[in-house]
Amino acid sequence: MSDARCGTGGDGSARPTKDDARDGTPPGRALAWGALGVALLVLAFPPFGLWPAGLLAPWPFGVAATRARSGARAFWLFTLLGVGVICGTTWWLSETHVFNLAVVTVVEAPLVGLLGWLAWRTLRTGAVFPALPVLWTAHEMVRMSWPETGYGWGLLGQALAASPLLVQVADLGGVLAVSFVGASAAAAVWAQLAGRPGRTGALAVVGLALLYGALRPGTLPEPEPGPLVATIQPGFPQELKDDGDAAPVRYRRCADLVAVIARDHPDVDLLVFPETMWPGGMLVDARRADTPPDPEGRVDATLAEEQRLLRDGPLGRLLDLFPAGGPHWLLGTPAWGLASPEDARPGGRPRMLNSAVLFSPTGDRLGRYDKHILIPGGETIPFRGTLPEAVRAWLDRMVRDLAGFLPDVIPGPGPVVLPVPLGPAGANLPVGVTICFENAYGDFNGALADQGAAFLLNLSNEGWFGTSPEFDHMELQSVLRAVETRRALFRSTNTGISCLVRPDGRRPEGDDRLEVGGVDRGVAGTFAARVPLHRGTTPYVLWGDLLGYLCLTGAAVLVWLRRASRVP
């Protein structure tokens, strides 16, 4: 049985290391190493944007785990570090309400604690590669998948997406592949400085990733010419957006911006309103295929009247800004779903959806996408339906007191491409529509590409976040989605950043992003771009987050193999 103060050489022999745990190690030393890891990770993200710091961050985390006195202490130490990770990388959540940041931190910090326990069990002996990147990637897989839809923010690969070289491996294994490469770089540094084995393998992974990153963009086929897509960016502050009495004010600004597009881009093919920016909302058909027929035809009559009022009223006035044969329209709107005749009666209570409704150039409804991944606390309360009635009533009161409303949005059916008549001779072009934070889920966007989406289109309202670094974080998420699927991604936003992200791994710049006076957020304006159409299927689209599952398996194997290598 090997002592924890010894590493294992490539020939299986034991040799001393410089940083393994010892009885009597001062608790503050482990905390200091962990704090260094948190600082490096936070510096890698916007607003600092020092992404090379992310290549070092997993190393001090690993050292901190080996210096903990027990697995339990490593867990609680890393849970504390997790508070720093979540608050330091996504503090902009507090722009909505500090309670939201607190809840996310309480849920996510113990998952970082899990990394500490795993690292304590496995990293005190043996090679640091592949152990460190396997453990790091496994814990990120858990964070981005659980609970419910997970929380894919503050991941190492997201920060490293700022590197056009490193981000290229995302088409092989998604954001987790980028994280694995970053953690491999950290393992190489650790192995070199501490005399631990594993440096050669770690450097090989990093070198291959850099070589792939240098060569892969040049292998992308030439895209097909695509439609001219335009969006308005109204720049509504959230308080104006939430003011029901201000709908006429919002409509006038939207109409003024549409008039600018009609003047500057009269040949636009698709005009997009960002998430929930259609003033006043819409009634939509929320009946399922197995819904019994409506003998009175009340739902159909109500929807037909809604269509008439839209075409003769606010939508019709916008259509008139374009000559015959104007654009198709995709309107992000709060929608009230009519699911039964009772919903259509006076005093009915239709359920709310967050939708993107497609209209023809003449104002006819052609289709709709309903948001599927809802924001906890903003659009839904997780596990609310499973709570005892008394607890649910208490929770509802508390949420109403904090937020002023009870989130109760119906989720859509999932990733489904929206056929838009933008192809040759009016043929349908499959478009992968997502709304808001769905942009942060690689598997969701990968499913859209797998269904044949010719490009991705994200509608978003980030007015909640002022002008914080959240906008830069979402831009990095967009770069990852474009590389993972090798599809162009067009973003239509309320307050920024409206842009076209090309699938070559570069952040949008110049004519590919909306800036007003050099400012890309918190401003009103219009943005238009010819969207290139890319075909083909990437390994990530085929395999999804397979790397994450492999690393979870690898972490379990490491725990089992090194279970005897404990500090006495």
- Mean pLDDT for each 10-residue chunk of the chain (568 residues)? 39 42 59 97 97 98 95 96 97 88 94 96 93 98 92 97 98 98 98 95 98 96 94 90 80 96 95 94 87 84 92 94 90 91 83 94 94 83 69 69 70 93 86 96 97 97 92 97 98 96 95 95 96 95 97 96 56
Amino acid at site 324: A
CB 100 within 8 A of CB 536: no
Instruction: Look at the block and give the residue holding tokens 């109403």.
Output: 400
- For CA atoms 81, 85, 88, 94, the dihedral sign is negative
Q: Rounded distance, CA 240 to CA 254, Å?
A: 13
Instruction: Look at the block and give the residue holding tokens 């990437």.
Output: 538
In the numeric block, which tokens belong to residue 455?
């490009």
Neighbours of 535 (CB within 10 A): 12
Instruction: Look at the block and give the residue holding tokens 């699938």.
Output: 503
Q: Rounded distance, CA 137 to CA 129, Å?
A: 13
Pick the closest to residue 437 from 405, 473, 409 (CA basis).
473
| Predicted pLDDT of residue 1 | 36
**Measured in whole angstroms, how far is the alpha carbon of residue 475 from the centre of its chain?**
10
| Predicted pLDDT of residue 471 | 96
* Kind and range of the H or E run holding 492: strand 489-493
Q: Rounded distance, CA 527 to CA 529, Å?
A: 7
If DSSP codes are grouped into helix, strand and coil, which group holds residue 513?
strand
196 secondary structure, DSSP code: -
CA dihedral 406, 407, 410, 412 (to 10 degrees): 170
Question: 118: exposed, middle or buried (C-beta count within 10 Å: 0-12, 13-18, 19+)?
Answer: buried
Beta strands 328-338; 270-273: pairing state: parallel
